[in-house]
Amino acid sequence: MTLSSSHPPRRRVLRTGLGLTATAGLATLAVPAPASASTRTAADGSPTHRTSANGWPMEPRADTSGAIWTRQVPGSSVSVALRIGEATTVLVHVIRRYHYEIDTLVDGEVIGFRPADSTLKGYATNHASGSAVAIRPSWYPDGAKGGLFPHQLATVRDILRECEDVVAWGGDFRRPNESWFQIDVPPSDARLKRLAARIRGWQDIPGQGAGTLALGA
């Protein structure tokens, strides 16, 4: 059972004024380790590929890299651009559970890939690698906590437990951002591959995966 989108979180009043700056604020927030984007170097010291704060390759554009695909979240009208592969599998699962179990989402309320440029700082660089999403950023202003009802927060915690430290939530950051979910391990991490495989397996098993409301299982 989902809470209708006609009943926003109890801090929705923050959308006025502070809410207008939330998306822009993604570019300037402090980030847990790793602290910033970096540049990989070849043996001769020359740069090879810039990486986002969580260690994933950043892309200048979605239409030319071939690494970023737009995927519709099953059971919703939401489409989101993400890095093809395990990152997409995991983040689409997170968005889908949010849609089913926290509040109904509509297209345009989830921000995925954004091209790498000078406006992205700190953990917001994870947008440029297609390994993070912001769900309703204007509803959850930079630095504000308490935007979720207790049962919504319990579902977020259940999602994080299910993802076994592969996914981080911005509500736990030193400067909170309750709209933010990111892949919190590098591309080669075995935990990511195991989680993605498990999520794919749920698609074939009745009563498993997003929308089953197995809170705390």
pLDDT tens for each residue of 7-41: 455 444 444 444 434 444 444 333 443 444 554 43
Q: What is the pLDDT of residues 111-166, one digit of tens each?
A: 999 998 888 899 999 999 999 999 999 999 889 999 999 999 999 999 999 999 99
User: What's the pTM?
Assistant: 0.74
Whole-angstrom Cα distance, residue 168 to residue 164? 10
pLDDT band at 97 (very low <50, low <70, confident <90, very high): very high
* Phi, psi for residue 179 in degrees, rounded to 5: -85, -10
pLDDT of amino acid 45 = 37
